Chain A
Amino acid sequence: MFKKDISAGAKSKVKSSAQRAIRSKVLEEYPKLEPYIEDILPKKEQLDLVKLPDRVSLYTLNSTPLFFQHMDDALLPHLTLVHKYPTAFHRLRIDRGAIRFVLSGAALMAPGMTSPGGRLPSKDLSPEDQERYGTEDLEAGTVVVIEAEGKETACMVGVLKMGTGEMREKKKGQACEAGHYLGDGLWSMAL
């Protein structure tokens, strides 16, 4: 979505009613953020809405980007937010070989996650990984954070195109739509 460098458009303040709506939407989508919501979206603070090209809007708090949204699609977290609260999101892991493709903006393919270096939520994982990546299969359309083998921080945020169960069976095809990855236009945009 942000392969090219982008420049921020108009910045406007968010109405407090809209701000409440965002807050409840965030909590609905990412219930695990609940304990920290006051840190992320404080009730009293004024959120800003920054318009980006291609009908993407970005919500920022004091010029730290928080969430972005394409039209009325799901709210996706900005990677800096993911780095701060990694446990609050559904996570998948890709193997080392796939990192360089992801970081150059390719759509994520299923083999990157079904190979030994990748992790999908499953009951066969070691207890430690189960804790990290979950046991329940995720459905297409879920917002996921992509981590990488051997790295601690996430490298991409996207929406699943294929359920994880299907992925494991097919081991082929596009798994995740490229949303926002490290080093893309949204990442390097100065606010």
Chain B
Amino acid sequence: MADTLPIKVTYCGVCTLPPEYCEFGGTTKKCEEWLADKHPDMHQKLYSQEALAQNLSSLSVEAQKRAEKDAVKKANKAATAEKREAETRASSKIIIKRIERNKRKYVTAVSGLEAFGLDIKKVSKDFGKKFATGASVTKLPGGGEEITVQGDLSEDIEEFLVKTYKEVPEDNIELVEDKKKTKGEKAAANVPAQ
């Protein structure tokens, strides 16, 4: 055996464990399907009737029941977690806001990225590199964080996001314009208050 090292181990594409441990992972069903698809020979060895029967026979009945219950619980948990994540993903929006800073100067604020499992700090760095401008992570007063990029880049950012991060659907990106109130508007807004 010592001569055959290193051993090449196959890992499950669903739960990343070695396939023999899939049964403890909580996504057993999906793992099994994956294995049957990719490595039919291994699937046959691990999921044949005999193998299953042997697994069960080595435990006492009570322990078996407990393990089974545990497994079901774990599977349910994994399923609901996944569902919830998909839901938040579908409902949440990335908001790209163009903020007027000084007449013809703009900054662009991007918020809502964290719902898609992106690391804000890293994305901010990417923005800075891609657009060659300052990009910083700022805390929002209402909690959460947003990326502020210097310059008017709303459309470029949208394109870049869709292109580089595949997990972001295009429909969930929203462009907003936030204009500083001009003097005339300000005066108009102030009039009723007086």
Known: A96-B55, A97-B59, A117-B58. A39 touches B6 (CB 8 A): yes
A100 x B59 contact (CB < 8 A) = no
Give chain A nearest CB distance to B160 CB in angstroms: 21
A contact residues, range: 20 to 34
Q: Is A170 an interface residue (CB 8 A)?
A: no
B7 x A183 contact (CB < 8 A) = no
Query: Across the interface, which residues of A come within 8 angstroms of B2, CB to CB?
Result: 35, 87
Interface residue ranges of A76-97 to B (CB < 8 Å):
80, 83-87, 95-97
A151 to B, closest residue via Cβ: B20
Q: How far is the CA of A183 from the CA of B1 in the complex (A)?
A: 27
Interface residue ranges of B6-25 to A (CB < 8 Å):
6-9, 15-18, 20-21, 24-25
Q: How far is the CA of A145 from the CA of B121 in the complex (A)?
A: 37
Q: Is A149 an interface residue (CB 8 A)?
A: yes
Q: Is B119 an interface residue (CB 8 A)?
A: yes
A85 x B6 contact (CB < 8 A) = yes
Known: A96-B59, A97-B67, A117-B58. A152 touches B6 (CB 8 A): no
Interface residue ranges of B40-98 to A (CB < 8 Å):
54-55, 58-59, 63, 67, 70-71
Q: How far is the CA of A187 from the CA of B18 in the complex (A)?
A: 12
Query: Across the interface, which residues of B come within 8 angstroms of A35, CB to CB?
Result: 2
Q: Is A26 an interface residue (CB 8 A)?
A: no
Known: A84-B7, A87-B2. A100 touches B54 (CB 8 A): no
Q: Is A188 an interface residue (CB 8 A)?
A: yes
Partner of A36, one of B5, B9, B21, B58: B5
A83 x B58 contact (CB < 8 A) = no
Partner of A86, one of B7, B17, B20, B58: B7
Partner of A155, one of B15, B21, B59: B21
Q: How far is the CA of A147 from the CA of B30 in the complex (A)?
A: 25
A100 x B7 contact (CB < 8 A) = no
A152 x B20 contact (CB < 8 A) = yes
B119 to A, closest residue via Cβ: A7
A188 x B54 contact (CB < 8 A) = no
A183 x B67 contact (CB < 8 A) = no
Known: A100-B67, A117-B58, A150-B55. A36 touches B6 (CB 8 A): yes
Q: Is A103 an interface residue (CB 8 A)?
A: yes
Give chain B nearest CB distance to A51 CB in angstroms: 15
Q: Is A182 an interface residue (CB 8 A)?
A: yes
Q: How far is the CA of A36 from the CA of B5 in the complex (A)?
A: 8
Q: How far is the CA of A35 from the CA of B6 in the complex (A)?
A: 11
B5 x A96 contact (CB < 8 A) = no
Q: Is A120 an interface residue (CB 8 A)?
A: no
Query: Across the interface, which residues of A come within 8 angstroms of B21, CB to CB?
Result: 99, 103, 151, 153, 155, 182-183
Interface residue ranges of A38-94 to B (CB < 8 Å):
39, 80, 83-87
Q: How far is the CA of A97 from the CA of B25 in the complex (A)?
A: 15
B7 x A83 contact (CB < 8 A) = yes
A interface residues, Cβ below 8 angstroms from B: 7, 35-36, 39, 80, 83-87, 95-97, 99-100, 103, 117, 149-153, 155, 182-183, 187-188
Between-chain CB contacts (< 8 Å), 27 pairs: A36-B5, A39-B6, A80-B9, A84-B5, A84-B7, A85-B7, A86-B7, A87-B5, A96-B55, A96-B59, A97-B59, A100-B70, A100-B71, A103-B24, A150-B20, A150-B54, A150-B58, A151-B20, A152-B20, A153-B20, A153-B21, A155-B21, A183-B15, A183-B16, A183-B21, A183-B25, A188-B16
| Given pairs A87-B5, A183-B17, 8 additional interface contacts (CB within 8 A) | A7-B119, A80-B9, A96-B55, A97-B59, A117-B58, A150-B54, A150-B55, A152-B18
